[in-house]
Structure formats: C-alpha cells, structure tokens
Structure 1
Amino acid sequence: MYANPAATNRFTVNAFLNNDQFACVDGYRLEDTVTEVTTPTNQPLPFVFNATDDHAAADALRTLSHSEPGDEPGQKWPAEIRSLNIGDVVQVTAPDGTVTHLAVDTVGYIEIETVGAAARPAVHPHTHA
C-alpha cells in the first residue's frame, strides 16, 4: 500500500498579527505582542496546506491572507482581518508534529527562537466585529 502524498504533506498554519505599530518597518521583535487570528467565537483558526516544507506552507497562508482562494479544505481568510505583513508570526505544524514559528520578513521568513511552546510573550485573541 502506498502513502497518499497529499496526506503526508499537509501542514497546519496558524497566524498571529503583530500589535506593534512599527512592526511593518522594524519586523518582529521578541518584546512584541501578537493577536491570534481566530474564528468569530475566538477559537484558533488553523489553515491546512499541502506543502513541501514549513516556509512553503507559510507562503501559502500569506498568499491566502491577500484574498486568494481558501486552503485545502476551503477555509478562507476572514474578510474583516488585515492580511499578513512584515512582523507578523505564523506557527507551522509539520505532518510529523514539528512546530516552527516564523516571523514574516521583507523577503521570506525568520525563524523565531522559542522557549518551550511559547512563540510570543503575550497573545490576545482577535475580537471580531
């Protein structure tokens, strides 16, 4: 029996918007706080993509956040939430369960060193209008 390539390359990506007004210029800094992109009921909003690696999965979410079609299951970026930008953070969970936190940079991403499971010093849920 052969493994389904689509199932083995499924990455889950969660987005966190930077609250610092200068993050789009300065990029992510460890002292920045971020707001998790959530559902209207403030539940985490994971996106699922078939990708070759964590950076490709992050790219897929960044593209989706700019009003592109939905992820693999059809989940779309919430219209009332701004798109991903420099300084924002994505949490990528690989098919093997490895979690990587990447900060959006001017070109690509910078991996964020984390302590334990925390990628950010403070996370606030996004409040939907």
Structure 2
Amino acid sequence: MTTHVQRPAAVTARIDTPDNAPAPAAYTATVYMNTARHSFDGYQPHHPLAEATRPDGSPLCLVFHASDRTRGHETAAEAAFEVGNRQGPDDNGQSWPADVRSISVGDVIKVTGPDHWIIHLSVDSTGFSTVPEPTNLTGLVGTRATSRR
C-alpha cells in the first residue's frame, strides 16, 4: 500500500552574488595636461589645460580601489602618476594611451575620493601641491586633439 505525501511549498531566498554586491570604495583620477609653453617650471592658474582622453576620444578616468596602498587623495594621485608614466594599469586594467604624452611637472590631477571630496593636485618636481579647480580648460589631449609642448 502506498500513501500520498505532500511536499512543503518551495521557499525563495535572496542570495547576494558579485553581480549585486556593492562596489568597492574607489578613488578616480582625471588628468589635465598643461599645454602652456615652458610649463615644466610648474602649474600656474593661467596655464591652459587639456583633459587626457582614451583613443576613442572619451575622457580618461583612472580608478584605484581604496586599499592599504591607496588610502588617500595623494596616494591616488601617485598611482595615477605611475599609470601616466606607463608603469602599469589602474585597478580596472586600463593603461595609459600610447598617443598621450606622459604625466609631467606642470600637469594637474583631479582626484575624487570615495567620500566624494574632490581635490586638484599639481604635479611638482617632488610630489604634489593642492591647487584651486582649474578654469582654463582648452580641450582634449588624445586621438582627437594633441598637446603642443
């Protein structure tokens, strides 16, 4: 003799996966190339700057995840400087475009932190200096526009 056993109703549960996990805290860096003649003495507010771009002409935005290595705006700027001098990629695997010159003294790096603070740092011969937000932006540096230095 067999008896009929009814199974309990199915239960649905939400399981977090990497697809819906929160993104790690990150710093983003945008580089503005100084296009003034003789700008290697350092950035001055009246110097024209052009935003570095990817080969397709879109803005180049470097990403560095907050970690023991990158734990502040200045260390994010240092990481951007390394990428901009072709010393490796950012934390998303993005390398510095071949058609954009290396980052050098007189350029400005805009860093946005996971805390949403934005700081602009000029590249100095030794380190960085905080500068006001640049107002003399002249265009893009990359495939669609080039720097005259």
The one of 141, 144, 149 aligned to 1:126: 141
TM-score between the two structures when normalised by the length of structure 1: 0.85
**CA shift at 1:69, angstroms?**
1.5
The answer on whether the counterparts of 2:99 and 2:142 sit within 8 Å (CA) in structure 1 is: no
1:68 correspondence with 2:91: no
Distance in 2 (CA, whole Å) between partners of 1:74 and 1:67 is 12
**CA shift at 1:64, angstroms?**
1.0
**CA shift at 1:120, angstroms?**
2.9
1:98 correspondence with 2:117: yes
The one of 29, 32, 36 aligned to 1:20: 36
Distance in 2 (CA, whole Å) between partners of 1:93 and 1:76 is 19
1:7 correspondence with 2:24: yes
Distance in 2 (CA, whole Å) between partners of 1:85 and 1:120 is 20
The one of 43, 51, 57 aligned to 2:76: 57
Aligned length in residues: 119
Unaligned runs of 5+ in 1: none
Distance in 2 (CA, whole Å) between partners of 1:123 and 1:14 is 15
C-alpha root-mean-square deviation of aligned residues, in Å? 1.8
Structure 1 range deviating more: 68-77 or 40-49: 40-49
SS in 2 for 1:80: coil
SS in 1 for 2:24: helix
TM-score between the two structures when normalised by the length of structure 2: 0.74
The answer on whether the counterparts of 1:32 and 1:120 sit within 8 Å (CA) in structure 2 is: no
Distance in 1 (CA, whole Å) between partners of 2:135 and 2:62 is 19
Q: Percent identity?
A: 30
Q: How does 1:27-46 map to 2 (within 5 A)?
A: 27-46=42-61
The answer on whether the counterparts of 1:89 and 1:102 sit within 8 Å (CA) in structure 2 is: yes
| AA in 2 matched with 1:124 | G
